[in-house]
Amino acid sequence: MRARVWGCRGSLPAPASDTVRYGGNTSCVELGVDKDIVLVFDAGSGIRLLGRDLAARGSLEIHVLLTHLHLDHLQGLAFFQPFWSDDVELHIWGPPSPTFSLAERVAAYVSPPLFPVHLSDVPSRPVFHDVPDEPWMIGSALVAGYPVVHQGPTMGYRVTAHQRTLAYIPDHEPSLGVDLGQLEPDWISGYRVAEGADVLLHDAQYSSEEYRTHVGWGHSSIDHAVTFAVAAQVDRLVMFHHDPAHTDTELESLRDEAQALWVGRHPPVLAAEGMELRLGPEGVAIDSPSSAEPSQPVPLSD
């Protein structure tokens, strides 16, 4: 199983000279398990560049797994090249809702006045699915989606293939109204998604201080992300959904904070655009793009 991060920013794209190392595009992670089948977590602005890459690879079966319908997880869909192709098989999965179907909720964005073309006129004619209650197979991947605490219906996803598991919970506030450290596992939001995962990509939006003024906004502080991952016995935590106000340098100090709290073998790392994760029988490898390494001052030459 191979994953690639195409966007890991939360809330709003944040392109700027001081967000280059970790990237400004919003949530999108590609997951490859089988040849010719691509799984995609979320359709944030990062999905635009993934679409260009997929178009060059030829026709495919694509499954977009939406965690929820907030714009930072949906805004790239209409700019995803396969969306406009009539020779792909495009499936879109998302959280069930008691009020509107998934297609109706996506069409609220892909229709005038917010977008010039209506969803019903899109050439790929995507097939919409509510995430089932029980795990299901996509190719040789076992996929499970479970509701997690956020704002509105929201899923976390767990994908297992070749004895390795990757979990994805980009928007999550597991500590809302509870002391995470005191809860039995079955009472922790998202526990079933992350339990024993080899890799967890998890919300790490706020510092502890910032969280105090954002209780109930649906996101985690660094210590909540670490406490949750440790409780769920996750092997590797990848900090995800970076706040748009955080610069690269600020993200690196949040990462240092997370590493100081961590008690496992592999210290947490920051998700970065271009990051590749390989999960195989021999173990897990995470390759960060070189730009995501802390920059070293280069002496000026005359």
CB of 222 to Zn ion, least distance (A): 17
Nearest-angstrom CA–CA distance, 284 and 281 = 8
Residue with tokens 């510092």: 207
Strands 276-280 and 269-270: unpaired
Q: Which residue is nearest to Zn ion (CB)?
A: 70
| Binding residue (CB under 5 A) for Zn ion from 6, 46, 47, 72 | 72
Beta strands in 196-235 (DSSP E): 199-203
Of 48 and 70, which CB lies nearer to Zn ion in the complex structure? 70
CB of 224 to Zn ion, least distance (A): 16
Residue with tokens 């006129």: 121
Options 45-53, 62-70, 220-228, 246-254: segment touching Zn ion (CB under 5 A): 62-70
Nearest-angstrom CA–CA distance, 165 and 245 = 31
Per-residue contact track with Zn ion, 130 to 169, x per CB under 5 A?
Answer: ----------------------------------------
CB of 154 to Zn ion, least distance (A): 7
Beta strands in 77-205 (DSSP E): 89-94, 127-130, 136-138, 141-147, 155-161, 164-169, 199-203
Of 88 and 148, which CB lies nearer to Zn ion in the complex structure? 148
| Binding residue (CB under 5 A) for Zn ion from 24, 66, 147, 171 | 171
243 is a contact residue toward Zn ion (CB under 5 A):
no
CB of 74 to Zn ion, least distance (A): 10
CB of 235 to Zn ion, least distance (A): 24
Options 45-53, 65-73, 90-98, 123-131: segment touching Zn ion (CB under 5 A): 65-73
Total binding residues toward Zn ion, as defined by CB under 5 A = 4
| 3-class SS letters over 2-19 | EEEEEECECCCCCCCCCC
List the one residue out of 127, 199, 182, 193 whose CA is nearest residue 157: 193
Of 155 and 180, which CB lies nearer to Zn ion in the complex structure? 155
Of 1 and 8, which CB lies nearer to Zn ion in the complex structure? 8
CB of 67 to Zn ion, least distance (A): 8
List the one residue out of 124, 257, 231, 256 whose CA is nearest residue 175: 231
70 is a contact residue toward Zn ion (CB under 5 A):
yes
Establish how many alpha carbons lie within 13 A of residue 214's alpha carbon, considering only the half-sphere containing its beta carbon: 18
| 3-class SS letters over 238-283 | EEECECCCCCHHHHHHHHHHHHHHCCCCCCCEECCCCCEEEEECCE
Give the residues lining the site for Zn ion (CB under 5 A): 10, 70, 72, 171
